[in-house]
Amino acid sequence: MTRSTGPFTVHPGPTIESYRYVGPEGEVEFEVGTEYWQRKPVLRDGHEIDVISVDSLRRVGDRIGEPLDDEPRARILENLRHYYRQRALPFEIRHPSGQHEDESGQIRPGFRTGLPRAEHSDGWSLTDLYMSPAFPDPDEYPPTITYQGAEGDAEIFREFEPVDATRREMGGFIEVREKVRRRLVLASSLRWVGKRSGQPMTGNDRARILDRVLSVYDKWGHIYVVRPSK
């Protein structure tokens, strides 16, 4: 059902994760996902959080294929903010930098891309090539994952073990059981590589890097356990 707010309308698009905006700026489709953490939908004020990707905004209809300039994009985003706030619904706008903006206008750091190379708006990244286009065979993959940040480059070993797990579908209403490979993160193997190869790693650096590695897995729902450092 189309809901109208002022001079524009917002209604479902051709796919389950798309919406169509129709207003003075023309017809525009955009992708809307759900915020997840550790394989579960994140709730705010009792509602799941819609995540709007700025990069996904694109012209459709009579102007399909035309570029969407900064000024009309900004107006559309402001209208979408109004649309959600008027309905008291939580939302996150994922900006091209990876930063997230919530319904209060607060902007916080976030991920610009996901694995196999997850890039964070704070300037660090994690590369894990398991089941990536370069290594599609689940039994063949590099033994390490790579961290890159302002403090330097690092590697850490991880292994896999099969376990039973559950995940949520259809907005969290359906629980699906499945067999997955759980990552075993070997914390004691974390070490500098590249320019800092061979240098000792401080406890603060070790804790920060490991926390960032695990935040990637939590964000995209990868199951893991950590083997503590000796």
Tokens found for residue 134 = 């370069």
- DSSP state string for 44-68: ETTEEPEEEEGGG-EE-GGGTTS--
* pLDDT tens sequence across 148-172: 999 999 999 999 999 887 776 655 5
Instruction: Give residue 40's pLDDT.
Output: 86
pLDDT of residue 28: 97
Kind plus residue range of the DSSP H or E element containing 162: strand 152-169
The token pair that represents 62 in the structure block:
């009579």
Model confidence over 52-99: pLDDT tens digits?
999 999 999 999 999 999 999 999 999 999 999 999 999 999 999 999
Q: What is the pLDDT of residues 13-25, one digit of tens each?
A: 988 889 999 999 9
Determine contact, residues 190/206, Cβ cutoff 8 Å.
Answer: yes
For the segment 104-121, what is each residue's pLDDT rounded down to a tens digit?
999 999 999 999 999 999
- The 10s digit of each residue's pLDDT in 35-53 is 999 888 899 999 999 999 9
CA distance 66 to 53: 19
pLDDT band (50, 70, 90) for residue 173: low
Q: Is the pLDDT of residue 4 over 50?
A: no
pLDDT digits (tens, 9 = 90+) for 132-144: 999 999 889 999 9
Quote the tokens at residue 168.
């949520």
46 Cα distance to chain centroid: 21
Q: Which residues pair with 166 in a beta bridge?
A: 177
